[in-house]
Amino acid sequence: MAKPVAPAAKDDADVPEVARKSDAWTDLGLTLPIFVAYHLGVVFLPVRNAADLVTSELRSLAKHSLPMYATLTLALGALFVISLWSLGQKRALAPSRFVFIALEGTLYAVLMRAASSYVVGSLRLAGASGSGAFSSVVMALGAGFYEEIAFRVGIFGVGSLVLRQLFGKGGKGVAVTVLWALCESAAFSGWHYVGAMGDPFDLQSFAFRAFCGLFLTVIFAFRGFAPAVWTHAIYDVWVMVGG
C-alpha cells in the first residue's frame, strides 16, 4: 500500500514563489548581476575588495587584456546561467525573481539603516577609496558579494554548522548559533579596520557595523544568501554615493 504523502504546509503554499526562500543554486543565480557588474567595473579601479580573490586570477588568465578579461567575466556568468537551465532551474532566472530580490534588498537596507541609527546613533561612514560615484558603486557591489560569501556563508554558515555538531546537542543549538552570530558580526565589523585601507578604529562605528553585520546575518539565516547580498550592496551604494 502506498504511503500517503502529507500535503504541503499551508504557510508555504500561500507564499508566492518569488518570495519563497531559495536554494543555494538559485541564490547564486540571483546574485549574478552584482557579481558581473562588479567584475566588469573593478578592473578600471586601482583598488578592489579585500575579500575578492577572483579578479587577480581573471586578470592573470586574460594576460591583462581588458577585452579578454571582460569576455572571461561574461563567460563565467553565462556558464552559470547554462548550468541552471540544464538543471531545470529556468524559473530561478525569471525577471520577476530579480525584481522581487532587488525590492526586498532595498526594503531591508532601509530597515537596517533605520534600526542601526536608532540603536547606535546616526553615523556617516567613510566611502570607497578612490573618487567619484563609479568607484563607490563598484566597491559597494564587491562588498555586497564577497563579504557576504566570506562572513555569512563561510564564517557564520559553515562555522555554526560545525559548532552545532560539536556543542549544540541537547537543545543547545539555538544558543550556540546566536552566540556565534554575535562573534561573526563583531569579526565583520573588525574587518573594516584591518590593513592599509582600513578605517581608524572608533567604538561607535565598530558598534554600528557590528549591528549591521548581525542584521545581515539574520537575513541570511531566514531568507538566504541572495537577499543578504542585495541588501548589503544596496545599503553600501546608498551610504557611499548618497551619504
Q: Quote the pLDDT of residue 63.
A: 86
Q: Specify the 3-state DSSP secondary structure of 7.
A: coil
User: In the predicted model, is pLDDT for residue 95 greater than 90?
Assistant: no
**pTM, to two decimals:** 0.88
Residue 14 falls within a domain, yes or no?
Answer: no
Cβ atoms 138, 48 nearer than 8 A:
no
- What is the secondary structure of 54-80 as a DSSP string? SHHHHHHHTTT-HHHHHHHHHHHHHHH
In a domain, 5, yes or no: no
Q: What confidence score (pLDDT) does residue 124 get?
A: 65
10, part of any domain: no
Q: Is residue 134 part of a domain?
A: yes
Domain for residue 78, yes or no?
A: yes
Decide if 179 is inside a domain: yes
Q: Which amino acid is at 61?
A: L
Per the structure block, which three cell numbers stand in for 143? 562588498
pLDDT for position 3: 41
What's the domain range around 79?
Answer: 22-119+126-242
Is 99 part of any domain? yes
Per the domain annotation, does 7 fall within a domain?
Answer: no
| Distance from C-alpha of 188 to C-alpha of 233, rounded to nearest angstrom | 15
For the chain, the domain total comes to 1
Residue 19 has pLDDT above 80, yes or no: no
Each residue's pLDDT tens digit, 123-175: 766 555 555 889 999 999 999 999 999 999 999 999 999 998 888 776 788 89
